[in-house]
Amino acid sequence: MINKTVTVKNPTGLHARPAAAFVKEASRHKCSVLIKKDGRSFNGKSIISVLSACITCGTKIELETDGEGESQALDDIVAAVESGLGE
Protein backbone atom coordinates (compact mmCIF):
# COMPACT_ATOMS: atom_id res chain seq x y z
CA MET A 1 0.00 0.00 0.00
CA ILE A 2 1.33 3.40 -1.01
CA ASN A 3 -0.18 6.86 -0.95
CA LYS A 4 0.36 10.43 -2.01
CA THR A 5 -1.40 13.72 -1.31
CA VAL A 6 -2.39 15.84 -4.29
CA THR A 7 -4.32 19.10 -4.74
CA VAL A 8 -7.26 19.09 -7.15
CA LYS A 9 -6.78 21.89 -9.70
CA ASN A 10 -9.97 21.59 -11.78
CA PRO A 11 -12.13 24.72 -11.49
CA THR A 12 -15.18 22.47 -10.95
CA GLY A 13 -13.38 19.96 -8.73
CA LEU A 14 -14.11 16.26 -9.30
CA HIS A 15 -17.61 16.60 -10.69
CA ALA A 16 -19.19 14.96 -13.76
CA ARG A 17 -16.55 14.79 -16.53
CA PRO A 18 -13.43 15.05 -14.34
CA ALA A 19 -14.84 12.41 -11.96
CA ALA A 20 -15.56 10.11 -14.91
CA ALA A 21 -12.00 10.65 -16.19
CA PHE A 22 -10.63 9.84 -12.72
CA VAL A 23 -12.65 6.61 -12.51
CA LYS A 24 -11.61 5.63 -16.03
CA GLU A 25 -7.92 6.07 -15.15
CA ALA A 26 -8.28 4.24 -11.83
CA SER A 27 -10.15 1.37 -13.46
CA ARG A 28 -7.29 0.73 -15.90
CA HIS A 29 -5.31 -0.73 -12.99
CA LYS A 30 -5.78 -4.02 -11.12
CA CYS A 31 -4.99 -2.62 -7.66
CA SER A 32 -7.51 -0.97 -5.37
CA VAL A 33 -7.69 2.84 -5.47
CA LEU A 34 -8.95 4.91 -2.56
CA ILE A 35 -9.48 8.64 -2.21
CA LYS A 36 -9.15 9.85 1.39
CA LYS A 37 -10.69 13.16 2.37
CA ASP A 38 -11.74 14.54 5.77
CA GLY A 39 -11.16 11.20 7.51
CA ARG A 40 -13.33 9.27 5.05
CA SER A 41 -12.36 6.84 2.29
CA PHE A 42 -13.97 6.67 -1.15
CA ASN A 43 -13.63 3.98 -3.83
CA GLY A 44 -11.73 5.58 -6.72
CA LYS A 45 -13.18 3.09 -9.20
CA SER A 46 -16.81 4.02 -8.47
CA ILE A 47 -18.30 7.13 -10.07
CA ILE A 48 -20.95 7.35 -7.33
CA SER A 49 -18.29 7.14 -4.62
CA VAL A 50 -16.07 9.77 -6.28
CA LEU A 51 -19.00 12.16 -6.75
CA SER A 52 -20.15 11.63 -3.16
CA ALA A 53 -16.74 12.79 -1.92
CA CYS A 54 -17.71 16.36 -2.97
CA ILE A 55 -14.17 17.30 -3.96
CA THR A 56 -13.87 20.96 -4.96
CA CYS A 57 -11.07 22.98 -6.55
CA GLY A 58 -8.13 23.40 -4.19
CA THR A 59 -9.03 20.39 -2.04
CA LYS A 60 -6.11 18.24 -0.90
CA ILE A 61 -6.89 14.54 -1.21
CA GLU A 62 -4.84 11.51 -0.34
CA LEU A 63 -4.70 8.84 -3.03
CA GLU A 64 -3.96 5.30 -1.88
CA THR A 65 -3.27 2.29 -4.07
CA ASP A 66 -2.88 -1.27 -2.87
CA GLY A 67 -2.14 -4.42 -4.83
CA GLU A 68 -0.68 -5.44 -8.15
CA GLY A 69 0.86 -2.48 -10.00
CA GLU A 70 0.16 -0.05 -7.17
CA SER A 71 3.19 2.14 -7.87
CA GLN A 72 2.41 2.63 -11.57
CA ALA A 73 -1.27 3.18 -10.77
CA LEU A 74 -0.47 5.88 -8.22
CA ASP A 75 1.90 7.63 -10.64
CA ASP A 76 -0.69 7.54 -13.45
CA ILE A 77 -3.57 8.77 -11.30
CA VAL A 78 -1.53 11.56 -9.68
CA ALA A 79 -0.40 12.70 -13.15
CA ALA A 80 -4.02 12.70 -14.36
CA VAL A 81 -5.21 14.77 -11.39
CA GLU A 82 -2.32 17.21 -11.70
CA SER A 83 -3.02 17.64 -15.44
CA GLY A 84 -6.65 18.62 -14.72
CA LEU A 85 -8.32 15.39 -15.88
CA GLY A 86 -8.98 16.72 -19.36
CA GLU A 87 -10.55 19.99 -18.27
**Positive/negative CA dihedral, 51, 53, 56, 57:** negative
What is the separation, in whole angstroms, between the first and last Cα of the chain? 29
Catalytic residue among 15, 24, 28, 37: 15
Which DSSP string corresponds to 57-71?
TT-EEEEEEESTTHH
The domain segmentation of the chain, as residue ranges, is 2-82
Residue 80, pLDDT > 90, answer yes
pLDDT of amino acid 36:
97
Q: Which CATH class is domain 2-82?
A: alpha beta
Q: What is the mean pLDDT of residues 12-38?
A: 95
Task: Look at the pTM and tell me if it is higher than 0.85.
Answer: yes
- Please give the C-alpha separations between residue 60 and each of 29, 30, 72, in angstroms, as whole numbers: 23, 24, 21
Q: Is 29 a catalytic residue?
A: no
